[in-house]
Amino acid sequence: MTELSLVQLVLNASLLVQMVLVLLLLISIYSWTLILYKSRFLKKAHRTADDFENSFWKGKDLNVLYNRLCSADDEPTGMESIFTSGYMEFVRQRKQPNIPPTILLESSQRAMRVALQRELDELDTHLAALATIGSVSPYIGLFGTVWGIMTSFHALGGLQQVTLAMVAPGISEALIATAMGLFAAIPAVMAYNQYIDKVDRLTTRYETFLEEFAGILQRQAYITSTPEN
């Protein structure tokens, strides 16, 4: 009885099965690239949100915080982007003469929602690719397996007597494609589910901050307009 060798099974597989295996290997490499990139991206997003909330809720002057973020080397992201977009619009509109507080607030909220949507789009980047890999890879592997089994049985069709020992190697070679499909799919599905949860939590934090900051701007808008009434 010969020892089962994964390399030997791959080398003995039909050309189409080998092509399927190469495709799944490339998909797996691409999947892990996305997984590692998205992991670093979301960790940075959470860390940036924590740092910004610590600075914002310390009660420092909004002008100082705005100038610090705008003068930083890195472009504001996450809550920083929502804050800078809303505050920049608030300051710009407040310079207009006799502008009603409601218009001032609506303009700021609109700018913040545009920034929020931009950040949410960035958070969702590559998640669809991971979901696609997780759902499609097993079927690609299954196709390779079915084709490999069909090829094996076709090669044995002309024989008068077929034993299990004659069929087993071909089936084993074909099943490698299914195993490879699962190897590519399982990490992608696990990462996708984990990242969706993190994105949802970040989305909730962003939306909550937007509403809280809109309340702060509303108070400032009416305080500013009080002397004119």
Give the pLDDT confidence of 129-142 residue by residue, as tens digits: 999 999 999 999 98
pLDDT of residue 212: 93
Q: 1 in a domain, yes or no?
A: no
Q: 12 in a domain, yes or no?
A: yes
**Given CA atoms 101, 98, 62, 223 in this order, what sign does their dihedral have?**
negative
pLDDT of 162 strictly over 70: no
Q: How far apart, in whole angstroms, are the C-alpha atoms of residue 127 and residue 120?
A: 12
Taking CA atoms, 23 is separated from 99, 104, 130, 157, 189, in Å, by 61, 55, 16, 29, 18
pLDDT of 72 strictly over 90: no
Q: How far apart, in whole angstroms, are the C-alpha atoms of residue 8 and residue 170?
A: 12
pLDDT of 204 strictly over 50: yes
Indicate left, alpha or beta for 74 from its phi (over 0: left) and psi (-120 to 50: alpha): beta
pLDDT of residue 163: 58
Neighbours of 66 (CB within 10 A): 19
Q: How confident is the model at residue 164 (pLDDT cuts 50, 70, 90)?
A: low
User: Which residues constitute the domain of residue 49?
Assistant: 6-228
Q: 15 in a domain, yes or no?
A: yes
| Domain count along the chain | 1
pTM as predicted: 0.82
- Mean pLDDT of the 171-185 span: 84
pLDDT tens sequence across 101-151:
888 899 999 999 999 999 999 999 999 999 999 999 999 998 888 877 777
